[in-house]
Amino acid sequence: MIIKKSEFIISAVKPSQYPVDNKLEVAFVGRSNAGKSSLINALTNRKKLAKISSTPGKTRLINFFLINDEFYFVDLPGYGFAKVSKKEKEKWGHMIEMYLVDRPQLKKIVLLVDSRHKPTNEDVYMYEWIKYYGYEAIIVATKSDKLKKSEFQKSKKVIKDVLNIKDEDKFIFFSSVKKDGKEELINLLLEDI
């Protein structure tokens, strides 16, 4: 499938603000600097659909983007890196958990990890959480344009080992700059939706 149309619908902090049309949803989670907004923009061929900032932690709300008038991409606040208060981080954590636990429209969760670094404890926690609740996990190793060809296998092994990725889970390298992995990722996202 080709993404022909994408539009921002709403930023939400609580369930009463979520879209009510029962369209299926694919959520994107990851550290504050993992590149969620850049990835969404690359997938939709829109430079400014999702707001990008050089300051990690810019996404502080749950953002819903309607894709092809058929389903939603949901950009969740990043975790781990943002320079915000502990109270603010707890608020984000509660908001994210409330969405992930109580959203029947949510069908897939894309976990973004930086391909250049070993996943953090928070990445491991998020992956375990995704599996615990029975979601299909798609692991996307971002910023792959910054890796040398000789580093790909090592990066993949480290990420798979640290997260303890299961065989049924999907793993893909992605570059928002070069669009490497774009077609494969879109196919994975739209499979069964």
* Per-residue pLDDT, 80: 67
| Per-residue pLDDT tens over the stretch 74-111 | 999 887 655 556 676 666 677 888 898 889 999 999 99
| Per-residue pLDDT tens over the stretch 44-75 | 998 889 876 555 445 578 999 999 999 999 99
Q: Domain map of the chain by residue range?
A: 6-190
CB–CB of 99/91 below 8 Å? no
Compute the distance between CA of residue 170 and CA of residue 112 in angstroms, rounded to an integer.
Answer: 12
When pLDDT is averaged across residues 154-170 and rounded to a whole number, the result is 93
Please state the length of the chain.
193
* Per-residue pLDDT, 193: 76
Q: Residue 155: pLDDT above 90?
A: yes
For residue 72, what are the β-bridge partners? 25, 66
| Per-residue pLDDT tens over the stretch 117-136 | 999 998 999 999 899 888 88
When pLDDT is averaged across residues 8-33 and rounded to a whole number, the result is 93
- CATH class of the domain at 6-190: alpha beta
| Burial of 16 (C-beta count, 10 Å sphere; 0-12/13-18/19+) | exposed
Contacts 24+ apart (CB under 8 A), 143-149: 143/35, 143/114, 143/115, 143/116, 143/175, 143/176, 144/115, 144/173, 144/174, 144/175, 144/180, 144/181, 145/175, 145/177, 145/178, 145/180, 146/115, 146/116, 147/115, 147/116, 147/173
Flag the least confident range among 31-35, 129-133, 172-176, 186-190. 31-35
* Per-residue pLDDT, 142: 96
| Per-residue pLDDT tens over the stretch 34-47 | 888 899 999 999 88
* Per-residue pLDDT, 192: 78
